Amino acid sequence: MSRLYACIISTELKRDKEVLQAIAHQFSYSIEMLADGILFDVSGLERLVGKPTQISQKILEELQKQNIPGSIAIAETVETAALLARQEHGSSHAVHEPETFQQLPLTDLPIEQDTLNIFSELGVNRVKDLLAIPEDELVSRYGRGFRDVVDVIEQKGRQLLTPNVKDSQVSWGYQLDAPVENFEQLIFLLNHGLERMFGEIARDALSTEHLHIAFKLTNKTKKAYEIKTSFPTLERAFWLKLINLRISLDPPDANIIAVDVVSYFTKPRPAQKGLYAVSRPEPERLLLTVNKLKNLVGEENVGVPVILNQRIAEAFTLDADVMPEGRERIETHGEKTVIAFSYFHPPVRAEVLVREDRLVFVKTHYFEGHVTEYSGVWKANSKWWDRSWKTQEWDVEIENKGIYRLCKVGKEWFLAGEYD
Amino acid sequence: MSHLALVKSLSHLQEEQKYSDEILLESTGLAFTRGTVAEIIGGPSSGKTSLSLSLLAKLTAAGEICAVVDSSDSFDPCSAILAGVELENLLWVKCGGDLEKSFMSADYLMQAKGFGAIWLNLNGLPQQKLRIVPKTYWYRYRTHVRDTPTLLLVTAEEPVTGSASQQAFIFERERAVWSGSGRYKLLREFCISLHSRKRFEGQPRRTRIEADYTDV
């Protein structure tokens, strides 16, 4: 069954927006606001009103009743309806018949100016001229992108109405009868709140990646949490676990008497799993796991390693706010195994025997032995403008043990780590 | 009938499947099987950290997400970069020398499923503590990673996983090679011998691990 779309283009949209919406609502529930007008689905009105021309007349009558200027068109595709209605820029009460579509100038179509100039030189100025050219010729000459233009002129456009949502957030709140000490007791209540909010969000075909939770406390203060994910999801169990983990990291310091939750809208996540995609943890599971780990070992101890562009002893840090991305490296390097270094935390204090400016013997709490080979001394210092930082380092091989980095800071000797 | 030539035999498919479940390190000739526990045992400077980083480099370069459970905060990201690890694809968990936290962290990571490899680095933890870890932990881990793409790699100075690990390799440093003379020497490479603790047949394999002094 074919669809029918109506479009009203108005020059006074700002002034007449609400009236136009009211008129559109008389004919349809499926409405999209445009920058210069309104689009609505009038499919099925043929039985109630009659032919498309009669539907147009009916809409026009409504416009005239309200004394609103507007240009009306009805067509089987969204693109055609919008193009027809835009012909006279909504300056007067006018109804555009679908038959006039072929007379439209090409300048109204989404065609690049260079291409339009070529068409103009060839004498192709209107839609009917372009329709006379075989579509395969057009696509092969102007690229696959031109297929969209061909679809529009052949009135086969696939654009759908997009609901315009006025709100960008939905909220829910609950006043408790009695103060609650532990947040976990509120989870069942929050589950109910999320169910309602996510239901509203899903109805608009949207999703969320940001929740704001605020607790009113018995000590007349408020405690607020911003919980964000790197991906939109409406999975309630996931959000509840995440909220619980975040709040347990920094619990409220008094009893809770009210809870308010705001969920911000975002576009849903396009989910596409490739056959050849490498395996990665699901984003929800990864985020929950990272939060569980933060609860276990501390927030600052879980994250992604980052190299610092500084000349300091350990020129790296752990970025706890970043999640692993799973990005594939395009250029491939040959596989290589290089000697890795492994730190001792804290550094191991050592006693070193130096004879004739040569390292001879190293003794630590864990082992002792003769130095068989060593390299150095490597002198390092940096951040002299901030604080004095100087070390002298040697790489030492200890008999029947390993190869270590030996440091001397002042008069103290330490093993900083091991080559492994 | 000619179309049947396009159909692969069951044994061929099983062979392909087996291959895709393995992570092969060409530089050492070792192949690790996904969905299992593997163990690398070695004393000081035996190359177990180098090999672990090499494995992580291979997986993270392909876009897989891996995790390091850094029991004694010994992980050096600069070495990881030199080995070719994509740090953006690596989750680093510092456990501050706490054995219990290390094991729980590994447990959480395995439950997440989907990690390419989880490296449980037990170097630097006291051996007495490691010996009292119940063997059931390792069987629990083996069950967790089974039928997942995850390889649980455990490195320690002494064997800890027992029969829960499918592969266990013992690394030994035969010698370290230094270049230069007098005071002007540089550590150049480790000559490592490695053999399987599970299969006693065959000669130990030998490999070299070179030093890389590139500034990161």
ipTM associated with this complex: 0.88
Residue found by looking up tokens 């100075």 in the block: B157
Domains and CATH numbers, chain A: 5-103 (3.30.70.270), 106-153 (no CATH), 169-266 (3.30.1490.100), 341-419 (no CATH)
- Is A325 part of the contact surface with chain B (CB cutoff 8 Å)? yes
Contacts of A339 in chain B (CB under 8 A): 47, 50, 79, 187, 189-190, 209-212
Give the nearest partner residue to A318 out of B49, B92, B101, using CB atoms: B92
Cα separation, A97 vs B159, whole angstroms: 84
Q: Note the pLDDT of residue A386.
A: 61
Please write the tens of the pLDDT for every residue from B19-50: 457 888 888 888 898 999 999 999 999 999 99
Nearest to A375 among B27, B86, B185 (CB): B185
Any chain A CB within 8 A of the CB of B101?
yes
CB of A45 within 8 A of CB of A6? no
Residue from B53, B52, B28, B57 nearest B40 by CA: B52
Residue ranges per structural domain of chain B: 27-170
Spatial separation of the C-alpha atoms in residues A22 and A235, rounded to whole Å: 36
- The pair of structure tokens assigned to A155 is 């009135």
pLDDT at A159: 80
- Ordered mean pLDDT values, 10 residues apiece, chain A (420 residues): 85 86 89 88 89 89 88 89 78 68 87 89 90 88 86 84 75 92 88 93 87 93 90 90 90 92 87 66 89 92 91 86 83 80 92 91 92 86 61 90 90 92
- Chain A contact for B112 (CB, 8 A cutoff): yes
* CATH, domain range B27-170: 3.40.50.300
Residue with tokens 């209540």: A189
DSSP one-letter code for B153: E
How many CB atoms lie under 10 A from the CB of residue A34? 16
Task: List the single residue in A302, A326, A345 with the smallest CB-CB distance to B93.
Answer: A302
Q: Does the beta carbon of B193 lie under 8 angstroms from any beta carbon of chain A?
A: no
How remote is the C-alpha of A149 from its chain's centroid? 30
Query: What pLDDT score does B18 carry?
Result: 44
Chain A residues touching residue B43 (CB < 8 angstroms) = 402
Residue of B nearest to A288 (CA): B112
In this predicted structure, what is the pLDDT of residue A229?
A: 87
Q: pTM for this one?
A: 0.70
Nearest CA in chain B to A301: B94
A379 to chain B, any CB pair closer than 8 A? The answer is no
pLDDT (tens digit per residue) in B116-173: 999 999 998 998 889 888 989 999 999 999 888 899 999 999 999 989 999 999 999 9
Each residue's pLDDT tens digit, B37-91: 999 999 999 999 999 999 999 999 888 999 999 999 999 999 999 999 999 999 9
Dist. CA A50–CA A339, nearest whole Å = 82
Q: Enumerate the residues of chain B whose CB falls inside 8 A of the CB of residue A293.
A: 93, 105, 108-109
- The angle that helices B99-112 and B135-145 make with each other, rounded to 10 degrees, is 20
Work out the end-to-end distance of chain B between its first and last CA atoms, rounded to an integer number of angstroms: 59
